[in-house]
């Protein structure tokens, strides 16, 4: 699970949900602007061309009816072409076409723009009939500017969307980072930094900080309770033990003492696990030579294994690790203890230490009774015992303690069937 | 020995003082830190047993104060806290030993006697050979002989025997052996120590009539002349 968290924690901006959403909105926005713009452009231009053409045609019909020399109108242009068919001198040479047969030009003298059509009169003279379109073409220009401005706004929206996604993602990344640190160090006094109360993430940080206050308070309560249990229950247990020791020697006394010892060791183990899990203390961490440590554990259990006719085989590489020496010894001692306990006479226990992708991998593999695959996840639970081990001695807490210690060191435990037997893999 | 017990729990205090008196020691008691500090600075004790958590003044402060004044009386801390961390803090503050509640009285007594004896040994100087009955252990040549017979021991077995012989006539507990011979603070789930002891016994008692290392029920082991 920690691996998944690590991967998603520092999300790249482009992959963030807010960025993707912003991108989708921008695209939709741009499409809407484009289709609307195109529609307006097409419609307006079509209408303009059509109305200009029909106006000019009506004017030509009027000229034909009335006589070309009689008509004089404001805002219009009636010019006869030269006899050789060329345009009069007043018309500039840079002509554009609005549509088939309609010319557009500016007259430099009055600074007006005209759209015009050339018509051949009944007397074979050619006349150019023009309409002043200065005002309408200014409007058209303005519409073009609006189009450019809307493109500019779409670009602005995209930039803002990107900035917003950076803001949101860096904010959530910061929160995730702090949360991760709190999980790793177990330092519940840490709080998220609240930059402003204005944005939603700031508000969320405030609420999460309140949650952390509450969690810290509860954890403190749990610790208080376990300390109280330690203080209040261990003392009467000690007294019970001492009173038992004071009894006259008898087989019953030994039985009672064994019971008391068992009760005390279960109790101590339980308390110890809770404390390791609750406190996450790393003040005792130092560089530990794992090879030496494992050799010591093996040497410690070797006589016991020999008595049970079990052989040890160790294959240890050099390796140092930053951790708590006593706790690590305890963890591996418990693992080896279990391996010896559940391996029948004549069996083997293999211990290997290897480097694995920059981490340390410790395999402890036995040829014992094994654990059904369905129960592999459960063996680290407190008081969990397999059917086969229920009859054996022990508190049912050995592997829970191993789990607590390995978690404290940021490691993982994996269980595999070794057919026959069990392989427990510790990754540190 | 004259022993001071500073402990706020009445039951534990009477339990310790009753047992110590039966074992032939003289006991002074204090039920709070202030009174304890007063006794510790005005009287002369061989060993002090101090609880970590006390009303008025906690155990660590008491020891820091008397150590600051040049008092070197051995101190054993008692604590319900009892994790490695607390042990290290306790020892760093000038404690000589550390015991977690609940403890077997035998464990406390064994540790007290060793702490008290250490004061005497300091003046006696460093020994080079240890004797127990007809066993001789040479610390320089690292050889062990019984009678006129050489005994071949592995280094861990040698250290085990050395530790037991250094405390001849005193009970050494399993926890003490783990701490001093193996140098790890932990709880073995099964009694592996017994297996190591029986191997050691097998080597040194082989061919001899008298058993050397005795098991004391509920406490530990002892070697005597």
Q: Are B83 and A241 inside 8 Å of each other by CB?
A: no
B225 touches chain A (CB under 8 A): no
Q: Are B189 and A324 inside 8 Å of each other by CB?
A: no
Choose among A276, A187, A281, A263: nearest CA to A226: A276
Distance of CA B221 to the CA centre of its chain: 12
B141 touches chain A (CB under 8 A): no
> How far is the first Cα of chain B from the last one, in angstroms, to the nearest whole number?
22
* CATH architecture under which domain B2-123 falls: 3-Layer(aba) Sandwich (3.40)
Q: Which residues pair with A356 in a beta bridge?
A: A359
Which residues of A fall below an 8 Å CB-CB distance to B? 227, 230-231, 234-239, 241-242, 245, 254, 257, 264-265, 268-269, 272, 275-276, 281, 283-284, 296, 299-301, 303-304, 307, 324-327, 329-330, 333-334, 337, 341, 393-395, 398
By CA distance, what is B102's nearest residue in A? A238
Distance between CA atoms of residues A195 and B170, nearest Å: 65
pLDDT of residue A389: 59
Residue A250: helix, strand or coil by DSSP? coil
Structure tokens, A307 = 């008595």
pLDDT of residue A297: 92
B21 touches chain A (CB under 8 A): no
For residue B12, list chain A residues with Cβ-Cβ distance below 8 A.
Answer: 235, 238-239
**What is the 3-state secondary structure of B89-152?**
HHHHCCCCEEEECCCCHHHHHHHHHHHHHHHHHHHHCCCCEEEECCEEEECCCCEEEECCEEEC
Q: How far is A158 from chain B (nearest CA, A)?
A: 56
- Whether residue A172 lies inside any domain: the answer is yes
pLDDT > 70: what percent of chain B? 93
Distance between CA atoms of residues A426 and A353, nearest Å: 9
pLDDT of residue A329: 92
> Based on the domain organization, do A264 and A290 belong to the same domain?
no
Q: Are A333 and B186 inside 8 Å of each other by CB?
A: yes
- Whether residue A274 lies inside any domain: the answer is yes
DSSP A86-124: PPPTTS-S--EEEETTEEEEEETTTTEEEEEEEEE-TTS
- Whether residue A194 lies inside any domain: the answer is no
Backbone phi, psi, residue A312, to 5°: -100, 140
- Whether residue A296 lies inside any domain: the answer is yes
- Whether residue A189 lies inside any domain: the answer is no
Q: Strand pairing of B75-79 and B47-51?
A: parallel
Q: How far is A3 from chain B (nearest CA, A)?
A: 30
Spell out the residues 6+ positions from residue B91 whose beta carbon is closer than 8 angstroms to its own.
Answer: B97, B98
Class of B126-223 in CATH: mainly alpha
> Based on the domain organization, do A69 and A95 belong to the same domain?
yes
Domain edges within chain B: 2-123, 126-223
pLDDT of residue A223: 66
> Based on the domain organization, do A175 and A33 belong to the same domain?
yes
∠ CA B129-B184-A412 to the nearest 5 degrees? Answer: 155
> Based on the domain organization, do A256 and A152 belong to the same domain?
no
> Based on the domain organization, do A209 and A334 belong to the same domain?
no
> Based on the domain organization, do A53 and A173 belong to the same domain?
yes
The predicted-structure confidence for A158-200, as pLDDT tens digits, reads as follows 788 778 878 888 888 888 888 888 877 667 778 888 877 777 8
Distance between CA atoms of residues A234 and B54, nearest Å: 16
Which of B53, B84, B103 is nearest residue A238 as measured by Cβ atoms?
B103
Instruction: Report yes or no: A242 and B105 within 8 Å, Cβ to Cβ.
Output: yes
Q: Among A279, A310, A334, where does a domain finish? A: A279
Structure tokens, B129 = 């050979």
Distance between CA atoms of residues B66 and B70, nearest Å: 7
Q: How far is A188 from chain B (nearest CA, A)?
A: 19
For residue B217, list chain A residues with Cβ-Cβ distance below 8 A.
Answer: 254
> Based on the domain organization, do A158 and A35 belong to the same domain?
yes
B185 touches chain A (CB under 8 A): yes
For residue A227, list chain B residues with Cβ-Cβ distance below 8 A.
Answer: 80-81
Which of B105, B185, B199 is nearest residue A242 as measured by Cβ atoms?
B105
Classify the C-alpha dihedral A128-A134-A135-A138 as positive or negative: positive
pLDDT of residue A230: 62
> Based on the domain organization, do A15 and A88 belong to the same domain?
yes
pLDDT of residue A295: 92
* Average pLDDT value for residue range B43-58: 87
> Based on the domain organization, do A334 and A420 belong to the same domain?
yes
* Average pLDDT value for residue range B46-60: 87
Residue A268's alpha-carbon distances to A143, A261, A272, A301, B14, in angstroms, are: 84, 10, 6, 22, 23
Strand order across the A126-132 sheet = A76-80, A126-132, A112-120, A102-107, A96-99
Evaluate if residue B93 carries a pLDDT over 60: yes
Domain that holds residue A294: 286-427
Verdict on whether the full-model pTM lies above 0.80: no
Structure tokens, B103 = 């403890």
Q: Strand pairing of A96-99 and B75-79?
A: unpaired
* Average pLDDT value for residue range B82-92: 67
Distance between CA atoms of residues B41 and B217, nearest Å: 37
In b/e form, how buried is each residue of B59-78, taking b as 16+ CB within 10 angstroms? bbebbebbeeeebebbbbbb
Enter the ipTM: 0.72
DSSP A65-87: HH-TTT---TTEEEEEPPTTSPP
Residue B223: helix, strand or coil by DSSP? strand
Instruction: Report yes or no: A314 and A298 within 8 Å, Cβ to Cβ.
Output: yes
Token pair 């930094």 is found at A193
Which of A227, A235, A281 is nearest residue B102 as measured by Cβ atoms?
A235
> Based on the domain organization, do A414 and A301 belong to the same domain?
yes
Q: How far is A336 from chain B (nearest CA, A)?
A: 10
pLDDT of residue A1: 38
DSSP A211-273: HHHHHHHHHHHHHHHHHHHHHHHHHHHHHHHHHHHTSPP-HHHHHHHHHHHHHHHHHHHHHHH
Evaluate if residue B171 carries a pLDDT over 80: yes
Q: Strand pairing of A126-132 and A112-120?
A: antiparallel
DSSP structure class, residue B180: I
Residue A174: helix, strand or coil by DSSP? helix
Token pair 């005795």 is found at B214
> Based on the domain organization, do A32 and A106 belong to the same domain?
yes
Query: What residues in chain A have per-residue pLDDT under 50?
Result: 1-9
pLDDT of residue A3: 41
> Based on the domain organization, do A6 and A116 belong to the same domain?
yes
Domain tally, chain A: 3
Classify the C-alpha dihedral A137-A138-A144-A150 as positive or negative: negative
Q: Are B217 and A304 inside 8 Å of each other by CB?
A: no
- Number of CB atoms found within 10 A of residue A357's CB: 6
Q: Are A241 and B102 inside 8 Å of each other by CB?
A: yes
């Amino acid at each position: 699970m920690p691996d998944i968290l690590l991967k998603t924690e520092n999300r790249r901006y482009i992959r963030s949900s807010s960025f993707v959403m912003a991108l989708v909105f921008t695209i939709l926005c741009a499409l809407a602007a484009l289709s609307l713009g195109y529609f307006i452009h097409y419609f307006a231009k079509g209408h303009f061309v059509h109305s200009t053409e029909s106006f000019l045609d009506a004017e030509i019909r009027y000229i034909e009816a009335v006589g070309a020399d009689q008509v004089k109108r404001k805002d219009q242009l009636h010019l006869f072409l030269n006899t050789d068919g060329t345009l009069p001198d007043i018309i500039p040479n840079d002509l554009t076409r609005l549509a088939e047969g309609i010319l557009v030009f500016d007259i430099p003298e009055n600074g007006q723009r005209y759209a015009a059509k050339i018509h051949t009169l009944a007397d074979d003279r050619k006349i150019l009939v023009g309409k002043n379109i200065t005002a309408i073409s200014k409007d058209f220009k303005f519409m073009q500017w609006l189009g450019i401005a809307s493109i500019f706004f779409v670009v602005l929206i995209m930039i803002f969307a990107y900035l917003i996604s950076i803001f949101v993602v860096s904010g959530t990344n910061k929160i995730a980072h702090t949360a991760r640190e709190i999980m790793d160090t177990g330092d519940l006094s840490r709080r998220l930094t609240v930059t402003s109360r204005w944005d939603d993430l700031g508000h969320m940080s405030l609420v999460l900080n309140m949650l952390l206050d509450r969690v810290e308070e509860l954890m403190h309560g749990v610790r208080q309770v376990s300390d109280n249990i330690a203080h209040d229950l261990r003392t009467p247990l000690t007294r019970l033990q001492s009173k038992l020791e004071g009894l006259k020697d008898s087989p019953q006394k030994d039985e009672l003492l064994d019971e008391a010892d068992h009760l005390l060791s279960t109790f101590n183990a339980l308390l110890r696990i809770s404390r390791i899990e609750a406190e996450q203390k790393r003040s005792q961490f130092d560089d530990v030579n794992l090879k030496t440590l494992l050799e010591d554990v093996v040497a410690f259990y070797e006589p016991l294994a020999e008595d049970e006719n079990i052989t040890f085989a160790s294959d240890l590489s050099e390796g140092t690790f930053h951790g708590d020496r006593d706790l690590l010894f305890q963890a591996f001692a418990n693992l080896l203890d279990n391996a010896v306990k559940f391996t029948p006479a004549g069996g083997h226990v293999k211990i290997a230490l290897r480097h694995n992708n920059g981490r340390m991998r410790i395999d402890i593999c036995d040829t014992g009774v094994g654990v059904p695959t369905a129960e592999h996840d459960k063996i680290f639970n407190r008081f969990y015992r397999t059917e086969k081990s229920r009859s054996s001695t022990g508190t049912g807490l050995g592997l829970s303690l191993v789990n607590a210690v390995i978690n404290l060191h940021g490691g993982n435990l994996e269980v595999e069937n070794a057919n026959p037997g069990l392989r427990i893999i510790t990754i540190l | 020995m004259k022993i001071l017990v500073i402990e706020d729990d009445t039951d534990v205090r009477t339990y310790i003082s009753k047992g110590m008196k039966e074992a032939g020691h003289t006991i002074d008691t204090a039920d709070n830190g202030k009174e304890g500090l007063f006794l510790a600075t005005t009287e002369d004790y061989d060993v002090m047993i101090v609880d970590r958590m006390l009303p008025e003044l906690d155990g660590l402060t008491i020891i820091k104060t008397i150590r600051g004044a040049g008092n070197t009386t051995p101190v054993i801390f008692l604590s319900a806290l009892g994790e490695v961390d607390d042990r290290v803090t306790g020892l760093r503050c000038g404690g000589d030993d550390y015991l977690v509640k609940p403890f077997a009285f035998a464990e406390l007594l064994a540790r007290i006697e060793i702490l008290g004896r250490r004061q005497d040994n300091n003046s006696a100087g460093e020994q080079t050979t240890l004797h127990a009955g007809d066993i001789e252990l040479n610390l320089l040549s690292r050889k062990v002989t019984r009678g006129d017979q050489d005994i071949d021991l592995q280094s861990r077995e040698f250290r085990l025997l050395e530790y037991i012989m250094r405390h001849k006539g005193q009970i050494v507990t399993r926890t003490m052996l783990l701490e001093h011979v193996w140098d790890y603070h932990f709880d073995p789930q099964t009694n592996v120590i017994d297996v190591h002891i029986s191997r050691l016994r097998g080597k040194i008692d082989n061919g001899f009539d008298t058993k050397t290392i005795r098991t004391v029920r509920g406490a530990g082991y002892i070697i005597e002349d």
